[in-house]
Amino acid sequence: MAGVPVRRRRALLSVTDKAGLEAFARGLAGHGYELLASGGTATALRGWGLDVIDVDAVTGYPEIFGGRVKTLHPAIHGGILGPDEASFAAVAELGITPIDLVAVNLYRFGQARADGGDQAQLVAKIDVGGPTMLRAAAKNFSRVTVVPDPAHYAEVLAELATNDGSTTLELRRRLAAAVFRLTERYDDAIADWLEGVTGTVDHGTELRYGENPHQGARMFLPAGGDLASVGLTLHGGKELSYNNLVDLVAGLKLAGDFDEPCCAILKHTNPCGFALGAPARALEAALRCDPVSAFGGVFAFNAMIDEEAAGILAERFLEIIVAPSYTEGALVRLTKKKNVRVLSADLPRFLAATRGRTRAWGGLVLKQDEDEGFPELQDWRLAAGPEPDAATRTGLAMGWKVAKHGKSNAIVLVDGEATVGCGFGQMSRVDSTEIAIAKARTQGFDLQGTLAASDGFFPFPDGIEKLAAAGVRAIVAPAGSIRDDEVAARAGELGVTLMLTGRRHFNH
């Protein structure tokens, strides 16, 4: 109706984790949102030059009891829980106005407990106002957008950009569900402490489904924690599925095994391309190995992604991009791909948080230590053929490390800086050898002078013979076959360098 003023949308921000807050708040302001905040959040926003309305200006009450009570007021919770404009009109004389978006993350109780905090410190980290606001906003998902984690910022801003400053009901429902899973874990962690439970009783976060749509699945994180607790931040794209998480772990484990900048491309946890070098260069080299398998794959880096690499990634169909960091332009470009999960990873923290392997089949649980380090490359021995030079040793070591991350039996062909053919997961090592050679030839690689790595010993000379016939000049494999001498003798006859190690890296 002409002459009726358009109400400005309001966003309430109260966050412990300030990661990504500035960009998120600026995005909200750019879509016409008024920003409400309290305490440290308000201070941070003002420090970035943003206009902020203090919570106590809305409630008419200052924070009391050292900040224990600041948002627990009808002006705040009425603004969150009010169902529609007509309902707000009915309470207009009370000064209660709608709040359309609530971005809150909780005090880090789980971290405080893990750090060995005393009772006073732990009680201080029991959040009351945060869960109350989150649950209120989640209950009212039909109108209110709730944002419980910085990982959702990019996705919310993308929806605001395509929906005239609003979000879809589908997104609001999904974020509301995330809230109730989060507060469930948070409450469990507090109850465990109060009851003196020393272990972790955790119901986990429900995933959309498991390996297949008919299978349920849950993700378990440190008590009271979120993805950040294992060093991950989701910047944009759909929520992570069970298979995404399995592939993500595999990709980061591979990238984390290298000190040199690298790009690893994986499909169904198997490497289908790997290369050393700056991100764009390594990405292009890794893609040449098996571009067909890379379709819909996981792209993991151990160095910052720049605009050049982002431009290559943006033109491809893929599931996940993960790197320690991104340039601002690279992140903007990649988060425009709505369905691609774009993550940053604090690699040292992630690798520490995911050390060890557990597999469970109902009541049968198997645990093992992490397969980490490559001390065998310090004392590997020449079993046959010419003494390898430094470049050959470096190339063999790269292939050896990549082979560790493919399903056994693993054969990896490399040209010194990148993979050119991979064969994984076959019942016979000869089959894996033939697959690696065939894939390399399909991509037009000249295998003359290339190198090969095997995650297990060669039980017969046939695998060595096939590699030599293809043009491979040097091979690394673990010792251990009763026919090691026979295999080495055949390698010598063929003029192939064979390096044997005292350690293997099976990945079943």
Farthest CA pair distance, the chain: 95
Q: How far is CA 456 from CA 298, 362, 429, 500, 507, in A?
A: 26, 30, 8, 10, 10
Q: In what order do the strands lie in the sheet with 381-384?
A: 381-384, 497-501, 474-478, 451-454, 411-414, 419-423
What DSSP character marks residue 9?
Answer: P
| CB 53 within 8 Å of CB 34 | yes
CA atoms within 13 A on the CB side of 448: 1
* Nearest-angstrom CA–CA distance, 414 and 387: 18
CA-based angle 344:248:157, to the nearest 5? 45
Bond before 244 cis per omega within 30 degrees: no
- Does residue 110 sit in helix, strand or coil? helix
What DSSP character marks residue 305?
Answer: B
Q: Please give the backbone phi and psi of residue 78, each rounded to the nearest 5 degrees, phi first.
A: -65, -40
Residue type, position 2, single letter: A
* Residue recorded with tokens 């809305």: 58
Write the CB contacts of 212 (distance below 8 Å, at least 6 apart in sequence).
none
| CB 466 within 8 Å of CB 430 | yes
Ordered DSSP codes for 354-408: T-SEEEEETTEEEEE------GGGGS-EEEESSPP-HHHHHHHHHHHHHHHTSPS
Cα 105 from chain centre = 19
Catalytic residue among 139, 336, 407, 466, which? 139
Q: Compute, in degrees rounded to 10, the torsion defined by CA atoms 84, 100, 102, 65.
A: -70
Instruction: Extract the tokens encoding 310.
Output: 């982002």
Instruction: Extract the tokens encoding 400.
Output: 């050896």
| CB 82 within 8 Å of CB 90 | no
* Nearest-angstrom CA–CA distance, 423 and 436: 4
Q: How many residues in total does the chain contain?
A: 508
Catalytic residue among 31, 238, 268, 336, which? 268
Reply yes or no on whether 405 is catalytic. Answer: no
| CB 185 within 8 Å of CB 224 | yes
Ordered DSSP codes for 467-478: HHHHT--EEEEE
Number of neighbours of residue 196 by Cβ within 10 angstroms: 6
Kindly tell me the burial class for residue 305, based on how many C-beta atoms sit within 10 Å of its own C-beta (0-12, 13-18, 19 or more).
Answer: buried
Reply yes or no on whether 268 is catalytic. Answer: yes
Q: How far is CA 400 from CA 344, 455, 506, in A?
A: 26, 7, 11
What residues act catalytically? 139, 268
